[in-house]
Structure 1
Amino acid sequence: GPVGTSEPAASASGLAAALVQAERALAAARRTGDPVGYGELPGQGLLGVLDPNLAQGFADALLAPLRSEPSLLTSLRAYLAAGGRLEEAARDLDVHRHTLRTRVRRVADLLNRDLDDPGVRAELWVALAVTDNASGPIGLPGASDPR
């Protein structure tokens, strides 16, 4: 079956955190079918220091305007993962670059945010990562993502 591992716990007091790490890695392993170590999951260190309830509230509020159009969330994820490079993100999504450009503009309009701003991109990445942690860590998207 699937295997997810934590970083080593330095003492007994670190076992609870190690269990959370192992559970996150296991969620990713279940989706990929391969063993996954917590250290292989992008961004998990940052997410681990955030208060989960505050972070989820932040993510829900920020991403709310996009919820009715799943293709916009998928497009935003790909755009951020490609460092804002439209051509690369369009290739990853298997859509035309003009299609993605239109979606990215729509995201910017709906959120009233400048997606060229690194701070905005960071906030959006964190919001997506927090949201994705409900079903598994970011960086290992599910196969059912709409294009």
Structure 2
Amino acid sequence: MVKEQVANKQFHFWTNWLLIVNSITVFIGMLIAFFGNSFLFEYHNKGTGNLFFGGRNIPLEILTFKNWLFGIIGATISGFHLLMVFIVHFAFRKKQIWARNAIALAMVTWFALDSGLSLYYGAYYNIYLINIPSFVIIVLPLIVTWKEFSGNGASA
């Protein structure tokens, strides 16, 4: 009985963690969309400038293109994480296996593709600045709560 109460508190903690982290990331996506070239993303932008332009100023036409790309990437980040908020709130919380599996598969797919492309182009800063922290803060709760979903009849 006590062990079950502790497990429920832990599951509740990690569910709230996922809700908060994904809600914050919705906001971060909006910042990327509208302020991707500001001081907020200076370290990432400097990494991009150093890698692709040898540290020189990015030409205006390319900066405009980059700002558009950041706009649509930020919008995609916001939409993806808003969907995650709904999945966590309405299905993960009820320990529905499909919700856990969908989040896990989405995160692994994103991490593998994004990090693979970053490695290919030498954008290591993107992996350690964005990908690893993002992956860990969302996948860690899945790992910790994984067994909570086993055998509860809430499968796909």
TM-score range, shorter-chain basis?
under 0.3
Q: TM (normalized to structure 1)?
A: 0.26
Comparing both structures, which one devotes a greater share of its residues to helix? 2
Question: Greater relative contact order (Cα 8 A, min sep 6): structure 1 or 2?
Answer: 2
The structure having more radius of gyration, on CA atoms, is 2
TM-score w.r.t. the length of structure 2 is 0.25
